[in-house]
Chains A and B, each alone.
Chain A
Amino acid sequence: GAVVSQHPSRVICKSGTSVKIECRSLDFQATTMFWYRQFPKQSLMLMATSNEGSKATYEQGVEKDKFLINHASLTLSTLTVTSAHPEDSSFYICSATDPSSNQPQHFGDGTRLSIL
């Protein structure tokens, strides 16, 4: 079945640094990828929808200059958290759409981001 790989699974870094998270579709071409943020014991909050070759569509309240999304190919989307601060610490999950699948979205295993 369709597999989405997210890397890294965990990252700890100092405040002020930028962190890049990769989301890859391993065995299918994903025209659309989604980025979510999840706070402890809470639901997934959609941050943005990423379409290959075009600018991402951000949800209301999500700073596009803070959370840079690039979808350069049909199998790779990246989320860069720029100048990260402790309040950016969270669990970030990506998902991808496989048009041939019977599921609407396939999810990566998430990235635990901790900013010190």
Chain B
Amino acid sequence: AQSVAQPEDQVNVAEGNPLTVKCTYSVSGNPYLFWYVQYPNRGLQFLLKYITGDNLVKGSYGFEAEFNKSQTSFHLKKPSALVSDSALYFCAVLASGYSTLTFGKGTMLLVSP
């Protein structure tokens, strides 16, 4: 089985401050992990992924995520938030033997001016 947990429904941060959106996962075997962003009334846009290699993954729009195997986490981070980063963020996992992504419930990020 594969599952993803995003413990925060919403994260609030002031523009210019660092942001973190949390994600933990549960899979059998090695996980493939992803972050997507969704703007209102739009589909999902790919931000970054972890397959193997360096635990720190850099993605689009200045976002990065750190894979932590011991904590089974894959938190999304950005050093300096922008108001335009305000959106719904989804963490997803794809485990070996599975053909479909499993998404977390999503975290709404609100960046205030």
Q: How many residues of B contact A (CB 8 A)?
A: 21
In the complex where A42-B105, A43-B90, A43-B106 touch, is A108 in contact with B100 (Cβ < 8 A)?
Answer: no
Question: Across the interface, do A43 and B105 meet the contact criterion of CB distance under 8 Å?
Answer: yes
Q: How far is the CA of A46 from the CA of B103 in the complex (A)?
A: 9
Of the listed stretches A12-20, A62-70, A73-81, A97-105, name the one at the interface; the rest are far from the partner chain: A97-105
Q: How many residues of A contact B (CB 8 A)?
A: 24
Contact with A along B73-113 (1 / 0, CB 8 A): 00000000000000010100010000111011110100000
Q: DSSP class of B's interface residues: helix, strand, loop or mixed?
A: strand
Question: Across the interface, do A32 and B105 meet the contact criterion of CB distance under 8 Å?
Answer: no
| Chain B positions within 8 Å of A46 at CB level | 100
Q: How far is the CA of A20 from the CA of B88 in the complex (A)?
A: 27
- Find residues 45-99 in chain B having any chain A CB closer than 8 Å to their own CB: 45-46, 49, 88, 90, 94, 99
Least distance between A8 CB and chain B CB atoms (Å) = 12
In the complex where A102-B49, A104-B34 touch, is A32 in contact with B43 (Cβ < 8 A)?
Answer: no
